[in-house]
Structure 1
Amino acid sequence: MNKSALRQEYLDKRKLLTKEEKENFDTHITANVKKLLINRPFRIIHTFLPQLNSGEIDTWKIISAIRRSFPFLKIAVPYILPGTREMEHFLLDEQTELITNQWKIPEPNPVISQKINPESIDAVLVPLLAFDEDGFRVGYGGGYYDRFFTGCRPDAVKIGLSFFDPVKKIEDRNEFDIPLNFCITPFRLYPFLSENE
């Protein structure tokens, strides 16, 4: 299947999850993120914040778990520059003021938040709708993360988060698509590229 078809199919599948299923999946994904982070020398991890009422993975649970279990790990989150398809990145801590953008996504207030250079980010929790057995992903179609990745270090670890298992292959992959190093689902961790590739 191509990206457009997969995007619609997996948006529909996400909508069909019951509240109990989603909460259970969120809990398992959070636990698997914690397992992946153990004994890794990350200093800054980047995560998306879930769009309100969209059924996205609840990264707030992951953020809380990181703060409890990895208190020295700094968390960065994106801010979409208005009128562009570019993102800036800011520290998320207890003092960060959040505002909601036009897509109902919480973002740090860029005027008073501490900016983070993409080259200082060690790992990125990546939003997606579907992924394939080679580690390529279908996002929401805006290309924000592919552009973001080009500003990160080559060794930044890209970790997809998915409620669902992979499809065999995304048919219309192209040379601009950047594969994940890992994808975390509720019940499995899928490794792809090694962290040194």
Structure 2
Amino acid sequence: METTKAALRRAALARRRALTSAEVAQRSRQLANLLFAHFPVAQWRWLHVFLPLARKNEPDTWPLIHRIWDEKLPVRPAAPVVQPDGISLKHYELTPTTPLLTDRWGIPEPLADPATEVAPAQLDAVLVPLLACDQQGQRVGYGGGFYDRFLAECRPGTLFIGLNILDDEPVLSLADVLPTDVPLHACLTPSQVWNFR
């Protein structure tokens, strides 16, 4: 059964809003545990991590970031900053001392410092926010296209891993996939890893 991105987006946002802060925290820890259990995180050099938009109950990525720091893993996290053009992202290394600013949507962002900028081609894996996905790895985001533009800039071989705070199976297929949409290689839900390629 095909379904549209708009329909899935509305349903997922409503269900995410219904989650309590305790549920978001527990599910976020489960996502982090699955990432470390199923992917060679310590073998990566650079991991792109989105920082959570708390008011939309996005997965809290801070537990996995702190695990990288606390365990002194060699992988280095990088986080996105929305550019003044309103449609593109740049990425900067995230360390325990990185100053954070809040953008106009309420998302924390690292201070944009040219000395800590990380090019998309350097990334070994990208954690991608999403609301839903299909069995081909096509994702439903907020509709701005930020991540599709960004993922298209990454080098071949970079892993694209979606994080879904909802424990949903991928739908069969999306009816309105665009030529510019970039599919995921995998998606994590709190209880399962879905591999698409």
TM-score by length of 2: 0.92
CA drift at 1:39: 6.8
CA drift at 1:113: 5.6
Name the CA distance, whole Å, in 1 between partners of 2:195 and 2:14.
26
Name the CA distance, whole Å, in 1 between partners of 2:21 and 2:148.
31
Name the CA distance, whole Å, in 2 between partners of 1:99 and 1:43.
25
Which deviates more from structure 2 when the two are superposed, residues 162-171 or residues 175-184?
A: 162-171
Q: Out of 18, 34, 37, which is 1:35 matched to?
A: 37
- CA deviations 1:85-144 (Å, max 9, x no partner) are 000010000121110010001111114761111110000000001111111100111101
Conserved? CA contact 2:43–2:74, under 8 Å: no
Which deviates more from structure 2 when the two are superposed, residues 175-184 or residues 30-39?
A: 30-39
Name the CA distance, whole Å, in 2 between partners of 1:100 and 1:132.
31
CA drift at 1:24: 2.0
The answer to whether residue 189 in structure 2 is matched with residue 185 in structure 1 is yes
Name the CA distance, whole Å, in 2 between partners of 1:178 and 1:70.
32
CA drift at 1:20: 3.0
Name the CA distance, whole Å, in 1 between partners of 2:113 and 2:42.
32
Conserved? CA contact 1:96–1:113, under 8 Å: no
Letter in 1 for 2:112: P
CA drift at 1:54: 2.0
Q: Percent identity?
A: 38
Name the CA distance, whole Å, in 2 between partners of 1:14 and 1:93.
29
Q: How many residues align?
A: 193
Question: Superposition pairs for residues 135-146 of structure 1, below 5 Å?
Answer: 135-146=137-148
The answer to whether residue 178 in structure 2 is matched with residue 174 in structure 1 is yes
Conserved? CA contact 1:79–1:108, under 8 Å: yes
CA drift at 1:48: 0.4
Shift of the 16–52 alpha-carbon distance from structure 1 to 2, 3 Å rule, reads closer
Structure 1 equivalent of residue 164 of structure 2:
162
- CA deviations 1:27-77 (Å, max 9, x no partner) are 111100111233763110001001132211001112112223462110010
Give RMSD over aligned pairs: 1.6
Q: Residue 64 of structure 1 aligns to a residue in which SS? A: helix
Name the CA distance, whole Å, in 2 between partners of 1:81 and 1:88.
7
Name the CA distance, whole Å, in 2 between partners of 1:146 and 1:39.
23
Unaligned runs of 5+ in 2: none
Unaligned runs of 5+ in 1: none
Q: Out of 134, 144, 147, which is 2:149 matched to?
A: 147
Which deviates more from structure 2 when the two are superposed, residues 22-31 or residues 67-76?
A: 67-76
CA drift at 1:23: 2.2
TM-score by length of 1: 0.92
Name the CA distance, whole Å, in 1 between partners of 2:11 and 2:85.
28
Structure 2 equivalent of residue 7 of structure 1:
9
